[in-house]
A and B are shown apart, each in its own frame.
Chain A
């Protein structure tokens, strides 16, 4: 099977499983999502930020809507929207940071929609979403965000998307002043740092289940089911290929 056909088979499988999962979720509610600490903690920490009139910070890292990490940026918006809706109740509200200028527009639009839904559009300012230049080693971005965390009196930091080891600078700045950190990265070095520094890290693909945990729409829950079934199928395929290779099969 050539690769375009394989691509469409995977897409079709994902579509069918998502729709079946969505139907099951909307009719019977039999799909139980496993517990992910970060998603349990998010609404609580945002409520804390609202109560104490401090800022919620969500960072897209270098996830770029015009690049290979576009879907990460879309998934982070799924996290940002419901949290910004809650944060819109506070006077300080939310802070969004990114090192990708196209994602800046996505962040601003997501914030604006969340504030509009809460009828708090008067509080919304475009400067709530900020672009910091990435720099050759991403350290300029990390230093800029690290300073903003302190200046804006951030209480909850949600750092998701594409980060390298520079994630340590941002998270360290937050932890040193007892600020809450939830982190994840789709890069291996960033994910390792997130695991070490965050109290409740998200691991890899858990980011893409955000909508199901925070929004609870049937199609999003169906997506999580599809994600799990495809993962099991790939695992079985890897095991089958391994046993075939042990048995001496040539590929």
Chain B
């Protein structure tokens, strides 16, 4: 571990002030575009333009994400110090292969006619089929394993500390799981149905209202330029 240097004294730099000014102006224009006020000019066109610009930036950012992913895996392969390096090599090889297949298919050098494919005319059938055959299947299998992981975690929760809330959580899990197994006419089935509709539904709404309030408060802080984003 290295020595602890004293933190640099923080004060607003011209760059941070400019960043805050741009952000606040764009935020207010977008807000007025989405929710126009009666006496102010209609900003919906400008607001939509800004949202579309953000969508384009997000699309370009995917390329940056892919480059980031490649750089991380190249570093692992060159280090070659664990099994992870081998997996990174496989990831890079797969990336190159899929890219080559996509390129060849787009150029018309490979023609695949899969009747059962969900691809629209003109879409790359081969890479989409590869995606369905490998990615979706593996992800679905992993999602299936989640069930066991979660039930074990619920059991471990009680071993860690027994509180009334943990006990209530475990009882709720048991009621819902057993309720799914029993036939529709049974009391436990009806109780499960009521339980999911009323207490769980109310809890979900409560949680979402809380998240919405938190979002408003942080949004206001961004709008008045008091967020840490604006500090260098």
Contact = CB atoms under 8 A, between A and B. Distances in A.
A139 B1 contact: no
Contacts of A179: none
Interface string B194-232: 000000000010011111011111111111101111011
Chain B interface SS verdict (over half): helix
A90 B160 CA distance: 31
Given A7-B35, A186-B211, A193-B150, A101 B65 contact: yes
Interface residues of B, number: 68
Contacts, number: 202
Instruction: Pick from B58, B169, B208, B217 the residue with the most CB of A within 10 Å.
Output: B217
B72 to A, nearest CB: 5
B33 to A, nearest CB: 11
Contacts of B222: 71, 74
A50 B4 CA distance: 11
Chain A interface SS verdict (over half): helix
Contact of B221 (A105, A169, A196, A219): A219
A196 B58 contact: no
A5 to B, nearest CB: 8
Contacts of A157: none
Given A101-B62, A104-B61, A169 B149 contact: yes
A137 interface: yes
Contact of A18 (B5, B87, B220): B220
B214 A205 contact: yes
Contacts of B231: 113
Contact of A74 (B7, B68, B87, B229): B229
A187 to B, nearest CB: 9
Interface residues of A, number: 84
Interface stretch (A26-34, A38-46, A220-228, A243-251): A220-228
B69 to A, nearest CB: 6
Interface in A127-177: 127, 129-133, 135-137, 139-140, 142-143, 147, 151, 165-166, 168-169, 172
B35 A101 contact: no
A51 B218 contact: no
Contact of A137 (B61, B76, B139, B210): B139
B153 A197 contact: yes
Nearest to A171: B153
Contacts of A188: 204, 207-208
A142 B2 CA distance: 32
A231 B214 CA distance: 10
Contacts of B139: 135-137, 139-140
A15 B146 contact: no
Contact of B217 (A195, A203, A226): A226
A168 B7 contact: no
B75 interface: yes
B119 interface: no
Given A14-B217, A15-B220, A195-B169, 11 more contacts: A71-B218, A85-B7, A101-B62, A120-B2, A147-B87, A151-B76, A165-B146, A172-B153, A196-B154, A205-B214, A211-B228
3 pairs of A and B residues whose beta carbons are closest in the complex: A208-B214, A101-B65, A205-B210
